[in-house]
Structure 1
């Protein structure tokens, strides 16, 4: 019998609809997989003890005709930045260790209502501050392709869980690339929706004008199916768009079935096709451009002149907003409290000293300085002006191209510890993903092959105009098919073994 953990969410849904398996069987298979390999990968911080009971309830509801959604009965992993009433929500920080929220994030509530089965909470850089999942207070996650390397961050746990076949789909959050960058480094698919397209209610905030919740998966269709479940207007989120969104799954299927890309203008961002990028990354990227051209797409060069200032602007805006958002962790209202003799301020200082990690402290200090009297206009205000220039650059680029394309990351996954002592080097790894967050546009990373130097995954990033997420899924569906034809199947079928198992079998179908 085909290993259920190797199938896509869409394939599992087909088996459920045909009565060939049950949610309990699928959930048990993934729980067994977690038990077998997560000691090495460390993708999960908490595994739900209610998953099988939830799956049994879903099976009963399906039998009664009460659940008809395509993902009903499918297990899902949830990044620990999202609040859950039945599991701890720590945001990877000691300051929230053991905290069980009194409410579900909107996206989690929508998962439950659609009949998905939460498997557990995935590891992350503390408060989503990091690009490697090494800044988690609970230890690093490892890349399933090479356990000596990082899986990306901040959502490395969700990407690693999907890539290691511990979960078919997962939710992440993307502030400067925290869905797309880990997807690229683990050979999975990650999507940052248009800002406001998915509710942030119940997402523990890092930078409120940048954060966006989105899907992680092993196929474009699976990402689209999950996006359809969690997306849409939420009156509890003041930044939530009121748009009536089309079916993203339909768009992905349309793209996968397309015979040609004739008429599509694909813009190559010249500033993100840089000589300093890893040669193996650039080789796979240019091969992808050749595939698109052969399929009929018109390849045009576009420029985003202000992108060279994106990292500087981002690392002023993000710390400033983080400084404000993290002020709530004060030892008084909830979370950790370190009892010391003295004033409330003394308790607060001791608690934040013990509860926050080094990277969080670094960014809070930087953000507080940028917002301080006499410096606001010079730093935070100026960064917001640069943000406006970047948005204008994107608007001009989309007049010449329907979608933009670049490598998702400048390099493949680096070794654990390699950049921990050099924060600037870590920050620079987000150079390709940050611009989409500053502009509020949707972006997708999908596997583009393996780098010749190290045999590790390379990500290809697509970007579309704001509110054109469906276009992103259509083009992504076509490009995924072209790339899989180029590589002889899903890239994860080529991943090395974990825990002494055989090489992952390609014949499992839609990985």
Structure 2
């Protein structure tokens, strides 16, 4: 069944509904692919093989259900999305034995749509990282070159999709954690508008920044997943009460005439690697050929985005992670002799270095005497960054720029330099501060590195449909990357 590896989610769905394939055959093919590639790629924390096969056999016995848009499709989800009866570790030792009693809203929606969840994807611990090297369990590798990182923190999801272990995955994006690994691994990743997809059942890192989004091998597949998981959740106060658009209908556009595409000059400035700029400029030229009008715009406060983001994200992380104390659930040190020992030793041994670093910095910026100087000021700058985007999008329908300043770097290259690692998110984090949608899609391989390059499309609130329409046309005009060279 190796021929299935090159099929898209949409193609597999058609074959399943036509009874040319059984769900069991598709699931077995994915499990075989996991067996072949997982020893080298290390994309998954856990695989639910028996459960998936049992579900597949039951679905085959019942017969195809066309009313379920993902009927029989094997998917994975990032391991900070709660899955009933299956461990959810967040890539951390402190949650190594945590087994939720409910499904996250987005996971439940996938299951209702007929999807088969076959595994939980590896990630940077509590989504804190840009390379998926901060997991307590394993370091994921890039399928294009096993000596390179896949990006992060949703690197496991990106690598899993790119290695054809599943036909899609759900990641999360706090500061670029879907778009950046999608760029580095050569797949399609969408960070939705804040509030479009319910956050209920997602273990929080930065509550005002986190969003769940789909990662797939094609734009159409991505739209299919978003169509399922988007929508109001009355149990989530951050979920917006608005109906999801028809994202698949947006893929019918034949040209980009009348569409204004903005080029933020800050995204095309010094610091952008030459091969990345070359591939992205070529993609922009294709947009112009399709009829788009190019407009140069400015995001004047974007230079403050990294500082602003890390103050806000770390402050929220220090608050959200306070619940992991070794008392109620999660890892508890057996060396503790009193209550204070439980807190100190459990958290010291349960959390990795990067998580501890961010908790300490977050606690500092929220502390008495520093709140006004740091957190309050960051919140004010955040408003200015959002206003920059809204002003630019008054002139344009979408903005475009690189998703990452470089292609994938070597494993271990930046682990000893956290500040340099933070700079890898320079083109993605401002969008989370603004709460707007963004999509990364592959536009070629770097001329020197031969590694994937991703172009980022940024849009107006709840206008993911326009992003899909532009991305779909660009995908048609762009040569497909093919099979990852590292596999």
Q: TM-score range by the shorter chain?
A: over 0.9
TM-score scaled to structure 1, two decimals? 0.94
Question: Which residue of 2 is the match for residue 37 of structure 1?
Answer: 37
Give runs of aligned pairs for residues 1-400 of structure 1, distance below 5 A: 3-48=3-48, 49-63=50-64, 65=65, 68-251=67-250, 253-255=251-253, 258=254, 260-400=255-395
Distance 1:327 1:60 in 2: 47
The 3-state SS of whatever aligns with 1:455 is: coil
Distance 2:191 2:233 in 1: 17
The 3-state SS of whatever aligns with 1:37 is: helix
Distance 2:318 2:372 in 1: 17
- Cα RMSD of the aligned pairs, angstroms, is 1.1
Distance 2:445 2:269 in 1: 19
Is 2:485 the counterpart of 1:496?
yes
Gaps of 5+ in 2: none
Question: 1:5, 1:26 within 8 Å by CA — same for their partners in 2?
Answer: no
Question: 1:337, 1:351 within 8 Å by CA — same for their partners in 2?
Answer: yes
Distance 1:62 1:304 in 2: 53
Question: 2:437, 2:460 within 8 Å by CA — same for their partners in 1?
Answer: yes
Distance 2:382 2:371 in 1: 15
Aligned-pair distance for 1:111?
1.0
Question: 2:146, 2:486 within 8 Å by CA — same for their partners in 1?
Answer: no
Question: 2:163, 2:484 within 8 Å by CA — same for their partners in 1?
Answer: no
Distance 1:60 1:362 in 2: 51
Gaps of 5+ in 1: 499-511
Aligned-pair distance for 1:341?
4.5
Question: 1:62, 1:68 within 8 Å by CA — same for their partners in 2?
Answer: no
**4+ long deviations beyond 4 Å:** none
Distance 1:43 1:495 in 2: 14
Q: Deviations over 1:304-352 (max 9, x none)?
A: 0000000000010000000000000011110011133432121110000
Aligned-pair distance for 1:182?
0.4
Distance 1:43 1:26 in 2: 19
The 3-state SS of whatever aligns with 2:355 is: helix
Q: Deviations over 1:258-289 (max 9, x none)?
A: 1x211110000110112321100000111111
Aligned-pair distance for 1:405?
0.1
Aligned-pair distance for 1:212?
0.1
Is 2:466 the counterpart of 1:467?
no
Distance 1:340 1:466 in 2: 50
Aligned-pair distance for 1:497?
4.8
Aligned-pair distance for 1:494?
4.6
Aligned-pair distance for 1:18?
1.1
Distance 1:304 1:481 in 2: 30
Question: 2:69, 2:114 within 8 Å by CA — same for their partners in 1?
Answer: no
Question: Which residue of 2 is the match for residue 506 of structure 1?
Answer: none
Q: Deviations over 1:447-504 (max 9, x none)?
A: 0101111100000000101111111111111111122xxx2xx21x152152xxxxxx
Aligned-pair distance for 1:2?
6.5
Aligned-pair distance for 1:75?
0.4
